[in-house]
């Protein structure tokens, strides 16, 4: 296993996207998609505080959170990462896109980068994702990426796992 934190924060890129570290100048544009423990940020201050907690989680080795940036403008369009620890070599992916960037295949591309990094670099043995059973876009995304449903959880949540 090769788990966070790393000497240099890993930057991942495709033809159109860069997955990169979130910096102070990104926070304002991230308020509407900032969450911590499923609670949303309401202000820039909330989002900044959440980012600090996310940075601590990275330093403690329990998560890695990337900003999804447009390769040309470097503007952040969403976030993706592994959250809630790496128990038994498994990672749990989470992701969110700002509404204006949805429906273009961007998260499919970002998740592919995060999955590849999880398998090849972190050496994860299992990659999972949990979402609400009502969350059609998330379920469509997971299926498109070859995740399969493994079980129903409490509160109408469902657990999916990536199958190579
Ligand atoms: C889940 C979420 C990220 C999915 O976003 P999305 O935009 O539907 O996903 P993608 O960026 O991969 O885009 C897929 C859409 O673009 C279309 N698309 C266009 N070009 C595409 C391409 N080259 N590749 C894949 N899809 C493409 C697909 O047809 C699909 O549209 P459809 O749903 O109308 O069929 C988004 O709904 C979101 O942020 N939700 C809130 C947070 C959340 O629920 N997170 C999930 C936690 S697991």
CA of residue 144 to ligand 1 center, whole Å: 9
**pLDDT at residue 119 tops 90:** yes
Q: Is residue 70 part of a domain?
A: yes
| Average predicted confidence (pLDDT) for the chain | 97
| Separation of alpha carbons 104 and 124, rounded Å | 28
Q: Is residue 1 part of a domain?
A: no
CA of residue 124 to ligand 1 center, whole Å: 24
Q: Is residue 132 part of a domain?
A: yes
User: Which residue has a Cα nearest atom 37 of ligand 1?
Assistant: 137
Residue 137: domain span = 12-162
Residues above pLDDT 90, as percent of the chain: 98
Domain count, the chain: 1
Residue 17, ligand 1, Cβ within 6 A: no
Q: Is residue 4 part of a domain?
A: no
| Separation of alpha carbons 157 and 164, rounded Å | 23
Q: Is residue 114 part of a domain?
A: yes
Q: Which atom of ligand 1 is nearest to the CA of 130?
A: 48
Q: What is the pLDDT of residue 62?
A: 97
Q: What is the pLDDT of residue 38?
A: 86
Return the CATH number at 108.
Answer: 3.40.630.30
pLDDT band of 164, cuts 50, 70, 90: confident
Q: Is residue 124 part of a domain?
A: yes
């Amino acid at each position: 296993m090769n788990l966070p934190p790393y000497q240099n924060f890993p930057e991942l890129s495709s033809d159109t996207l860069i997955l990169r570290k979130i910096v102070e100048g990104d926070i304002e544009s991230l308020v509407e998609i900032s969450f911590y423990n499923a609670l949303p940020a309401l202000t820039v201050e909330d989002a900044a505080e959440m980012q600090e907690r996310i940075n601590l989680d990275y330093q403690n080795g329990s998560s890695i959170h990337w900003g999804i940036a447009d390769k040309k403008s470097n503007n952040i369009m969403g976030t993706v990462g592994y959250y809630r620890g790496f128990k038994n070599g498994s990672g749990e992916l989470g992701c969110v896109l700002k509404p204006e960037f949805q429906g273009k295949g961007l998260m499919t591309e970002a998740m592919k980068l995060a999955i590849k990094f999880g398998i090849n670099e972190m050496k994860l043995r299992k990659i999972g994702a949990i979402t609400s059973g009502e969350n059609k876009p998330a379920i469509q995304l997971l299926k498109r990426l070859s995740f399969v449903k493994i079980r129903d959880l409490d509160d109408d949540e469902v657990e999916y796992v990536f199958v190579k």
